[in-house]
C-alpha cells in the first residue's frame, strides 16, 4: 500500500466499504468485498504455486531466526514483568495465566494420547510386518514352518552366512 493511499484506505474501512474497489460493502468478518477477496486469494495462490515450483521458501532462514529471537525476547520481557508469557495478561505466581495453563494442559493431554496411540499402532504394525517377513522367509527357506524358520535363523546368525546378513538387513527395523 502506498503512503498516499493510506488515509483513503482507512476512511473506506471506517465507512465499511471495500478499501480496494471502494464500490461494494465489505463482506462480513473482513475488510474487502467478496469480489476483491476472491481476486486477492487467487493472486496469493498463484504466487505460492510459483514460489513452490521454483523452490523459493516462503521465509528465509534469516527471517525465521529473527522471528524466533523476537519471540524469545518478548517472552523474557513478559516473564520479567510478571505477565503470562503466552498471552500477556496478569499472572500471579506462575509463568502462565490460568486460562493458558488450562489450554496447555489440554494440548499436552491430546499430544500424549496421540503419541501413545501412534506407539501402539507402530508396535502392532511392526509385529505384523515381522511375522509376515518370518512367514515369507519360512516359505522361501525350503518350506520351513515359522518355528523351524526361527531355528534356521539362529543357526544362520551363528554362522553369519550371506542369507543371515540379508535377512538381518531386511528385518533390522522390526527386531527391536
The answer to whether residue 83 sits within a structural domain is no
- Provide the sign of the torsion angle of the four alpha carbons 145, 146, 147, 152, taken in this order: positive
The parent domain of residue 138 ranges over 121-174
Q: Please, which residues bridge with residue 129 across strands?
A: none
The answer to whether residue 127 sits within a structural domain is yes
**Greater pLDDT, 135 or 19:** 19
The answer to whether residue 69 sits within a structural domain is no
Domains: count for the chain: 2
How does pLDDT run across 149-163, given as a tens digit for each residue?
Answer: 666 667 766 776 666
pLDDT at 76: 92
How does pLDDT run across 82-109, given as a tens digit for each residue?
Answer: 899 988 888 888 888 889 889 989 989 9
pLDDT at 135: 67
CA distance 173 to 165: 14
Provide the Cα torsion 126, 127, 129, 135; round to 10°.
Answer: 160
The answer to whether residue 135 sits within a structural domain is yes
- pLDDT of 51 > 90? The answer is no
Residue 74 banded pLDDT, cuts 50, 70, 90: very high
pLDDT, the chain, mean:
80
Amino acid at each position: 500500500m502506498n503512503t498516499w493511499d493510506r488515509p483513503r484506505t482507512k476512511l473506506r474501512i471506517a465507512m465499511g466499504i471495500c478499501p480496494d474497489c471502494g464500490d461494494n460493502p465489505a463482506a462480513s468478518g473482513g475488510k474487502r468485498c467478496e469480489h476483491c477477496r476472491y481476486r486477492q486469494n487467487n493472486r496469493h495462490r498463484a504466487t505460492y504455486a510459483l514460489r513452490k515450483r521454483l523452490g523459493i521458501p516462503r521465509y528465509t532462514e534469516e527471517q525465521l531466526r529473527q522471528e524466533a529471537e523476537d519471540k524469545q525476547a518478548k517472552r523474557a520481557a513478559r516473564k520479567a514483568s510478571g505477565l503470562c508469557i503466552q498471552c500477556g495478561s496478569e499472572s500471579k505466581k506462575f509463568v502462565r495465566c490460568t486460562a493458558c495453563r488450562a489450554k496447555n494442559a489440554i494440548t499436552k493431554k491430546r499430544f500424549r494420547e496421540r503419541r501413545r496411540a501412534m506407539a501402539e499402532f507402530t508396535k502392532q504394525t511392526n509385529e505384523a510386518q515381522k511375522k509376515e517377513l518370518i512367514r515369507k522367509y519360512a516359505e522361501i527357506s525350503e518350506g520351513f514352518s515359522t518355528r523351524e524358520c526361527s531355528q534356521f535363523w539362529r543357526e544362520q546368525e551363528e554362522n553369519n552366512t550371506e542369507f543371515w546378513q540379508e535377512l538381518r538387513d531386511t528385518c533390522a527395523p522390526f527386531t527391536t
